[in-house]
Structure 1
Amino acid sequence: MSKTFTKAIFTFLLFFVTAAVAQAQNVVISGSVIDKLTKEPIPGVGITVKGTTAGTATDNAGKYNFSTSQKAPFTLVISYLGYTSVEKQITGNTSNLDVELEQTALLGQEVVISASRTPEKILESPVSVERMGAAAIKEVAAPSFYDALNNMKGVEISTQSLTFKSINTRGFNSNGNTRFNQYVDGMDNQAPGLNFSVGNIVGVNDLDVDNVELLPGASSALYGAGGISGTMLITSKSPFDYQGASFQYKRGINHVNDNSSETQPFNQLDVRVAKAWNNKFAFKGTFSFMQAEDWHANNFSNFDRAARQAKPGDRSSDPNYDGINSYGDEVSQNMKNVAQAALNAGTSGFVQQALGLTAPPTAAQIADFRAHPLRGPALTNFLTTDPRFSAFTLGFKNPALLPDQSVSRTGYEEVNLVDYKTQSLKTSGALHYRFTPTIEAIAQANWGTGTSVYTGSDRYSLRNFSIGQYKLELKGRDFFLKGYTTQERSGDSYISSILGSYINEKSKRSTDWFPQYVANFVGARNAGLDEAGAHAAARKAADVGRFVPGSAAFEAAKDQIMNTTIASTDFKKGIYGAKFNDKTNLYHYEGMYNFSNLLNNAVEFQLGASYRIFQLRSGGTIFNDLNDKIDINEYGAFAQLGKKLFNDVLKLTVSGRYDKSKNFEGRFTPRVTGVFTVAPNNNIRLSYQTGYRNPTTQNQYIDLSVGGGSQRLIGGLPQSLNNYSLYTNKPFTDVSYRAFLASASAGTPNPGLLQQYNFDAKGVVPESVQAYEVGYKGLLGPKFLIDAYAYYNMYKNFITAVDVYQRGDDGSFTKFGVPVNATGEVKAYGAALGVDYLLGKFNVSGNVSYNEIGDLPTGYINDFNTPKYRYNLGLGNKEIIKNVGFNVAWRWQDKFYWNSSFASGEVPAYSTLDAQVNLKVPSVNSMIKIGGSNVLNKYYFTSYGNPSVGALYYVSYTFNP
């Protein structure tokens, strides 16, 4: 036998003996946990040694068995959310320690972290905070926990598609909400190229959500830039606390009684697996896949882009029709301008050819040619007899044949351009290692991909896009250090209006289509047709050769354009592209230390700092980065000091944060809060908070054609403005440009009406808010919880946008959309009231919210985009009869006016009812749920230009929920 093998055997025996001795010194405990009422086993119950993190959890049969080196006697804590905890004294090895837990509802006893970045009871929070725990998530009356956020007090959701939804509080709602922060396990969940989270497309599946905390209003003092309208923290389940395998399959239908689609299937599968060893090492993995037919956007109202509002008419009655959810019809020209340009081109070409010039003639050469006794009549004869120009000449000779009317190209409906086969695949994995009971290292990866539709300044078809988030973190009871990156990839995403416009261009160039339209119109009018008939005849003639949706030519052009990048577009070569090429990244590093324990909790004191880098990489398809890489560096630090006074009756907290971004001056944001305990479990809170947000990456560097090419969005930084000479060749205001157009339509164009717009030399700068809030939260007896607040916000340098028109050398105008800061202050105020009442085994809840905007500065575009009143009512019972529970949520909101860069119009008032009934099957640790959102199937939309949402009915089966 070799010495090596002998040594190995000796080492193994020594290890075995040592382990046996160690095991002999451990205290071994086993038993089971059941529901006191139903006598059914409860899986996932936490069994821990009091004062430590040592312990385990019950298995699917409600049984547990573990050993601990804790010296007896000690106390064992048996706890599970929704049940009263039980403590047992342990004096040595114990078997068959069976425990019965009693269901309970402890209103106001939840612990939150978001409000102060340190654990505290929600009743004692210094600012408004909403919370949804794991127990509530299991039984929400909605298809997912994210949909159920709409039932929280003061929360609203803008639905752009089945999977893309934006959360908002306290006004200034938008489709992609850049004023609201969303964090998943401490990682900013924003897509760095967009600067807002893409809903829960790349997030957490329902089986892995431990809790959601939402802070309405400003939160920059603790969380940095952004979050002017609110901050939400989503925390996933720890593999130490929630072990085992779980899965959920959901099958449903939507598009019921939908005029735009047949009834369609909905399928979703969620899986979670977690395991821990010796309370030291743990891992978890999750997977979720959803597939369905998306909601169809079919608002074909006629839209006046200059006035930013709907106008009367449709394609049959308005030659310049521009449907909100049809694309390609944004391209429009004035008939007289078309005729004049064609005649000018014909004249120039004739003169050049007659004189044998190698370049177009000058104005003087053309004038001499016209004055020549022989050449002049020849030119006139050419223009009046050549079929390309004779109609235009005839029209100018007889103005009744050529009206001063704009006409648009024939567009394509969104359903023909956008991929409605929505799907979402998201997966995550995490490794956890505990060095001590309180110090833990985490390596985590979240990745998701999918197909959806997003509304910004356009409707964007997000196809096969992906976002990955990867984190390393070391955290303890009093500190954390973490670094993470967000990797955004646009996949096959494209702009729908550009696609529609370019399919038109592939079938027939606009330089040919518009002259054909005008010539045929003049001919039809000259033949005796009335104006409406002439327009119909002209469009029919000009549309000859137009690619028809579904045809081979249409599909070939569509496929080519949506797979060619925007930056590759070359009109001269006939190359058209609508595809993004975005590979933008975010890198973030952050740390915090809580000194409170070092100070014996005489005061609460925290310090933290962060550093982040945006790397904008769109290849010139979104940003002005075709030839230059763009990096944005930001850093910040905060401190917070809190102290309880007057025998813990009053708690004061002071916070402050300093942040600096590469393109903007540094900014300090303070926060002062006070919580006054007027009676046990009854607190009044006061707060003064400040918030700010930097202009988004797109506000700074975007360079993108939208609206079918009718408008260019550019960043508001001085360098972006200089790229288009907007400081030197000053553009004209939107109002004055429309006045000029009106004068031209009346036959007396008056350039004197045009008023210049002057951009600030600093360009766009960060906006800020001062927020005041007073609130009360208290228990009026053990079964009645009330929460109320009122707020008043004052915004400065509010980031909005202006449309301006720049005149080129040829006299034509180019429209630019540019982010700017509103002058003066924008003020908003509101209040909310929420109640929860335990009526026997029933939980009755309700809340009402009120939001209002004050006087607006002159010229400010009101994008408050929030109903004045909205309320929710809920009724639920976890077990109305044995193993059967239900939940119902009814929501109503008032009508309001929606204003955005895509479309503006009234959103009607609506109400919707969500409901579910569930059956628990303890024998196989499962739950069957039958439910639906908008079960009455009353179609509604949350923002103008977005799709209408109908019912989604489903049945789900969940194992080990």
Structure 2
Amino acid sequence: MSRIFTQIFYVLFFVCAINIAARAQSITVSGTVKDKQSKEGLAGVSVTIKGQSGGTASSSNGTFSFTTAAKAPFTIVASYVGYGTVEQQVTGSTTGINLELETAVQLGGDVVVSASRTPERILESPVSIERMSAASIREIAAPSFYDALNNMKGVESSMQSLTFKSINTRGFNSNGNTRFNQYIDGMDNQAPGLNFSVGNIVGITELDIDNVELLPGASSALYGAGGINGTLLMTSKDPFKYQGASFQYKTGVNHVNDDNSSVQPFNQLDVRLAKSWNNKFGVKAAFSFLQAKDWMANNYSNFDRVANGVKPGDRISDPGYDGVNSYGDEVNSNLLGAARSVQAAFQASSPAGFGAFNSFIGSGLTYPQIVTLVSTNPAYAALRPALPFLGVVYSLNKGTTASQTVSRTGYNEEDLVDYNTKSMKMSGAAYYNFTPTIQLVAQANWGTGTSVYTGSDRYSLRNFNIGQYKLELKGQDFFLRGYTTQERSGDSYISSILGSYINEKSSPTAAAWFPTYTIAYSAARSQGASDAAAQAAARATADAGRFAPGSTNFAVAKEQIKNTTISATDASKGIYGAKFDDKTNLYHYEGMYNFTNLLNNALEFQVGASSRTYQLRSGGTIFDDLNRKIDIDEYGAFAQVGKKFGEVFKLTVAGRYDKSTNFEGRFTPRITGVFTVAKNNNIRLSFQTGYRNPTTQNQYIDLSVGGGSQRLIGGLPEFLSKYGLNVEATKGYTEASYRAYLASVIGGAANPALLQKYTFDARGVRPESVKAYEIGYKGLLGPRLLIDAYAYYNQYKNFITAVNVYQNVGGSFVKYGVPINAEGEVTSYGGALGLDYLMGKWNVSGNVSYNQIGDLPENYINDFNTPKIRYNLGLGNREIIKNFGFNISYRWQDQFYWNSSFSAGQVPAYSTLDAQVSLKIPSVMSSIKLGGSNIMNKYYITSYGNPAAGAIYYLAFTFNP
């Protein structure tokens, strides 16, 4: 961490000096904002100069102060959610300005920053943007602001557990979405090693969040790699504006009418403390702790890993059953092949016995007759130890051994993962104001917890923790920041590997379980049993020593395996591990300067640059870093120029260049135009480009998953060479040809001519990119109706997907999952419409979105994972009667097919209803909220293979919200 901060301080005072010199000719604008009726100061009011950049928000007592290069006369605009906007012209003194706001629900008054990286009215944003303010967050019906993101138009999520949700917009949703960026106070919230945004696991607590801004679509021109489908920016509260002590206690229940569990408690405590002195120094600290019983994944559909889809059958009817949320049954073998292996071993160890058995069979003796003969005739006493193998030889000779996939008996997820969800978040920051506009911030966010995450497997995240530490110097026109993300996997492990290795501890698969199964099956078939009866008898015999859930043997094996790292596994010594040991770090620093004020607002001009380093450190448990250290460097720079042409049109052009260690540099441009067709009515047009590098795992993963039945490897050329997948003699075979090969087993003889080799691109996996076209309209039709609509069309190139290949290693096939780029172009298109209407104090809202994928290239695996239609409806009133308000939100989405590296299947259409009623108690600065999410308690899934969620009912008490 010190290396990044050292570099920052090299330029810290230089930048500060430049900014101070630039402000030498500027003036200070200051005053107070009050409630017109109570005459009390209002905190957090946005105060800006009309038509220009810059401004501030009022402090806790309503005072405000900022510096500007603007010359009087100019107009001050004050806006705040729940109040009407006030404009006041300044012609003389710029200090001592008094502004008074009246209570009113106003539409379109928000000021946003993320759309252009400079403050602007949301009505004038050049691209689609959604915003959630601190006031609206207090009124949401969902248990957390993160859950309420689904109420924004076009937003969808994949819920992997109670505290783990992945946010997405505009299609291609996924678990741990890597096409969507999330930032907390300017810090990238993605875990650098595990490649998922930690979202509501660590970061901002509900009491400390000031606002959320969401940019659907590409944003690489301003924010760099990633975010080709969207960017979420979360900003915490400033201690100069929000001071004092606050706390919130929320208690409730979930698992109501849940077949998997009795009703369980849900508890959460949030605390925030903030204080400032003389408008110079400020500090804040926030804490949150949540404890609950997680949702349980219990999809036991029979999953075909070759076809990547569900097939008929269960453990009783299908000997090769592989449950979606059952682990250990991924390990399988062909029964006919196993029988031949047992017979070959018997023949090699006892040629005489093998010959004698075949002689008896050739003479026409039945299996029972041979058993009786050997057991009673002293002449054949030497053959008695070999009798267990008789059934195998007899069944193979008679052709009664089925060419059938047989899997080991798996363990249900609830027996393997930790559902005792915990989440603890802590943050602290110190602020120092050098001048009214230049501030130094030192910030630390740290969180730990227990949750369940879905990637290529189900990962039990136990005591997972991640810290983010930032130092930032910022002013009205610039910022310079450096931060590091320190990821620690704690006691986390992979559930399927745990299930498989518990099986190995009870009975080694190759050495014991399959031979036992085969011998028992063959004996039953040789005695005339049906195939189904023989399979059942064989499984009962092979599982006789299986460690049953709840038994001492199971508990001991589970503890040993989940606390042993994957890289320490040594089957020859009986050592097995499912734990991954990730200690990956990210170091990032960036800066930006806005020259607009120096140019007297004649032209908007910004420049910025960034650099980051990933240090991959997993000890060989995720990455190929057991015997080496892997670092990835990325750097980039951008510039943006904007110009207003009168009062009717604004044109903005931006571009960014980025370079990564393993990939060529690339340029991403952006062009936007905003047409003002009437006051508060704007049409926007944009062409944006975006790209994302293959994730750290796409580049360097080397991991066994699926209970050891598959290996995930990086898509860089070095991995193709490591496993011989780019060498003609050892190339892997395509999945389609491998399936055809398996289906060709007739009479026990497969047709190898059906196998077709797969040729990888010699360049390996490369960054994917998108060209995004959008047209939108946002406007006020009178003071009561706000309309926001857009339509988009995206063209993706080098879309990062994955391919499975099957390599023949000594007669056995090994499956490899390898990231590749899809050939051809992938397109998607859609649109959304949002309406907000005011009826007195009533706020009626609704939005609908449509998303569709275009024609697909040949052999492309469709992972659009997005419903065509989804909509939200809302109704709220902050004060039906004095101090009493309510809010309800209804959400519906259509069915769709989900496809991922973990599982694939149909996600049914579902609807949810969230609601809350609240009571303010001004005398003690408190409020009480009674609410619930999915209050009709209709269990639903958002993505296949993940748990179904029911209702959460809660009661919350908040002091000084």
Q: Do these two structures clear the TM 0.5 threshold for a shared fold by scoring above it? A: yes
Aligned positions of 1:949-960 closer than 5 A: 949-960=949-960
The alignment partner of 1:426 has SS state of strand
The alignment partner of 2:221 has SS state of helix
> Greater shift after overlay, 614-623 or 381-390?
381-390
**Aligned-partner Cα distance in 2 for 1:802–1:76:** 58
1:664-703 Cα offsets, whole Å, 9 max, x none, are 0001001111101111111111111111000000000000
* CA apart distance, 1:534: 1.4
**Aligned-partner Cα distance in 1 for 2:332–2:499:** 14
* CA apart distance, 1:81: 3.8
Structure 2 unaligned blocks of 5 or more? 1-29, 68-73, 355-379
Check conservation: 1:383, 1:390, Cα contact below 8 A.
Answer: no
| Residue type at the aligned position of 2:423 | S
* CA apart distance, 1:851: 0.4
Residue 639 of structure 2 is aligned to residue 639 of structure 1: yes
Check conservation: 1:481, 1:592, Cα contact below 8 A.
Answer: yes
Residue number in structure 2 paired with 1:336: 336
Check conservation: 1:643, 1:651, Cα contact below 8 A.
Answer: yes
Residue number in structure 1 paired with 2:23: none
Residue number in structure 2 paired with 1:942: 942
- Summarize the Cα distance change of 1:287–1:411 in structure 2 as closer, same or farther, 3 Å threshold: same
Residue number in structure 1 paired with 2:670: 671
- Summarize the Cα distance change of 1:30–1:185 in structure 2 as closer, same or farther, 3 Å threshold: closer
| Residue type at the aligned position of 1:185 | D
- Summarize the Cα distance change of 1:183–1:383 in structure 2 as closer, same or farther, 3 Å threshold: farther
* CA apart distance, 1:598: 1.2
Check conservation: 2:251, 2:955, Cα contact below 8 A.
Answer: yes
* CA apart distance, 1:194: 2.4
* CA apart distance, 1:753: 0.3
Check conservation: 1:778, 1:785, Cα contact below 8 A.
Answer: yes
* CA apart distance, 1:102: 2.4
The alignment partner of 2:689 has SS state of strand
**Aligned-partner Cα distance in 2 for 1:90–1:644:** 24
Aligned positions of 1:530-549 closer than 5 A: 530-549=530-549
The alignment partner of 1:578 has SS state of coil
Residue number in structure 2 paired with 1:683: 682
Residue 489 of structure 2 is aligned to residue 490 of structure 1: yes
**Aligned-partner Cα distance in 1 for 2:162–2:210:** 24
* CA apart distance, 1:391: 2.0
Aligned positions of 1:167-206 closer than 5 A: 167-206=167-206
Residue number in structure 2 paired with 1:10: none
Residue number in structure 2 paired with 1:507: 506
Residue number in structure 2 paired with 1:736: 737
| Residue type at the aligned position of 1:710 | S
- Percentage of pairs with the same residue: 70
| Residue type at the aligned position of 2:465 | S
Aligned positions of 1:321-470 closer than 5 A: 321-350=321-350, 386-400=386-400, 402-470=401-469
* CA apart distance, 1:98: 12
The alignment partner of 1:196 has SS state of coil
Residue number in structure 2 paired with 1:759: 760
> Greater shift after overlay, 294-303 or 41-50?
41-50
RMSD: 2.8
Check conservation: 1:53, 1:438, Cα contact below 8 A.
Answer: no
Check conservation: 1:225, 1:693, Cα contact below 8 A.
Answer: yes
**Aligned-partner Cα distance in 1 for 2:603–2:31:** 41
Check conservation: 1:224, 1:636, Cα contact below 8 A.
Answer: yes
| Residue type at the aligned position of 1:337 | G
| Residue type at the aligned position of 1:738 | R
Check conservation: 1:733, 1:803, Cα contact below 8 A.
Answer: yes
- Summarize the Cα distance change of 1:596–1:505 in structure 2 as closer, same or farther, 3 Å threshold: same
* CA apart distance, 1:146: 0.5
Taking structure 2 as the reference length, what is the TM-score of the superposition?
0.89
> Greater shift after overlay, 934-943 or 598-607?
598-607
Check conservation: 1:831, 1:850, Cα contact below 8 A.
Answer: yes
* CA apart distance, 1:109: 1.5
Check conservation: 2:272, 2:284, Cα contact below 8 A.
Answer: yes
Residue number in structure 2 paired with 1:784: 785
* CA apart distance, 1:723: 1.1
The alignment partner of 2:538 has SS state of helix
| Residue type at the aligned position of 2:799 | F
- Summarize the Cα distance change of 1:530–1:75 in structure 2 as closer, same or farther, 3 Å threshold: closer
**Aligned-partner Cα distance in 1 for 2:125–2:700:** 39
| Residue type at the aligned position of 2:255 | H
Residue number in structure 1 paired with 2:9: none
- Summarize the Cα distance change of 1:888–1:419 in structure 2 as closer, same or farther, 3 Å threshold: same
> Greater shift after overlay, 412-421 or 747-756?
747-756
* CA apart distance, 1:744: 1.3
**Aligned-partner Cα distance in 2 for 1:410–1:712:** 21
The alignment partner of 1:572 has SS state of helix
Aligned positions of 1:521-920 closer than 5 A: 521-645=521-645, 647-728=646-727, 729-745=730-746, 747-808=748-809, 810-920=810-920
Give the one of 60, 64, 77 matched to 1:57: 60
**Aligned-partner Cα distance in 2 for 1:889–1:255:** 21
Taking structure 1 as the reference length, what is the TM-score of the superposition?
0.89
| Residue type at the aligned position of 1:422 | T
Residue number in structure 2 paired with 1:18: none
**Aligned-partner Cα distance in 1 for 2:64–2:675:** 44
Check conservation: 1:132, 1:212, Cα contact below 8 A.
Answer: yes
* CA apart distance, 1:196: 2.8
**Aligned-partner Cα distance in 1 for 2:535–2:185:** 59
Check conservation: 1:160, 1:946, Cα contact below 8 A.
Answer: yes
**Aligned-partner Cα distance in 2 for 1:684–1:91:** 36
**Aligned-partner Cα distance in 2 for 1:795–1:31:** 50
**Aligned-partner Cα distance in 2 for 1:111–1:52:** 10
Residue number in structure 2 paired with 1:9: none
Check conservation: 1:215, 1:231, Cα contact below 8 A.
Answer: yes
Check conservation: 1:444, 1:470, Cα contact below 8 A.
Answer: yes
* CA apart distance, 1:218: 0.6
**Aligned-partner Cα distance in 2 for 1:483–1:66:** 28
| Residue type at the aligned position of 2:554 | F
Check conservation: 2:157, 2:167, Cα contact below 8 A.
Answer: yes
- Summarize the Cα distance change of 1:610–1:767 in structure 2 as closer, same or farther, 3 Å threshold: same
Residue number in structure 2 paired with 1:5: none
- Summarize the Cα distance change of 1:382–1:959 in structure 2 as closer, same or farther, 3 Å threshold: farther
Check conservation: 1:346, 1:383, Cα contact below 8 A.
Answer: no
The alignment partner of 2:744 has SS state of helix
**Aligned-partner Cα distance in 1 for 2:685–2:56:** 36
* CA apart distance, 1:532: 1.5
- Summarize the Cα distance change of 1:40–1:563 in structure 2 as closer, same or farther, 3 Å threshold: farther
Check conservation: 1:45, 1:78, Cα contact below 8 A.
Answer: no
| Residue type at the aligned position of 1:931 | G
Check conservation: 1:46, 1:57, Cα contact below 8 A.
Answer: no
* CA apart distance, 1:931: 0.3
Check conservation: 2:158, 2:166, Cα contact below 8 A.
Answer: yes
Structure 1 unaligned blocks of 5 or more? 1-28, 59-63, 355-379
1:785-818 Cα offsets, whole Å, 9 max, x none, are 000000000101000000100001x211000000
- Summarize the Cα distance change of 1:950–1:66 in structure 2 as closer, same or farther, 3 Å threshold: closer
Residue number in structure 2 paired with 1:3: none
Check conservation: 1:41, 1:922, Cα contact below 8 A.
Answer: no
The alignment partner of 1:386 has SS state of helix
* CA apart distance, 1:347: 3.2
1:176-210 Cα offsets, whole Å, 9 max, x none, are 10000000000000000023302210121111111
**Aligned-partner Cα distance in 1 for 2:799–2:476:** 39
* CA apart distance, 1:68: 14
Aligned positions of 1:208-223 closer than 5 A: 208-223=208-223
**Aligned-partner Cα distance in 2 for 1:138–1:723:** 54
* CA apart distance, 1:779: 0.5
| Residue type at the aligned position of 1:300 | Y
The alignment partner of 1:626 has SS state of coil
Residue number in structure 2 paired with 1:120: 120
Residue number in structure 1 paired with 2:361: none
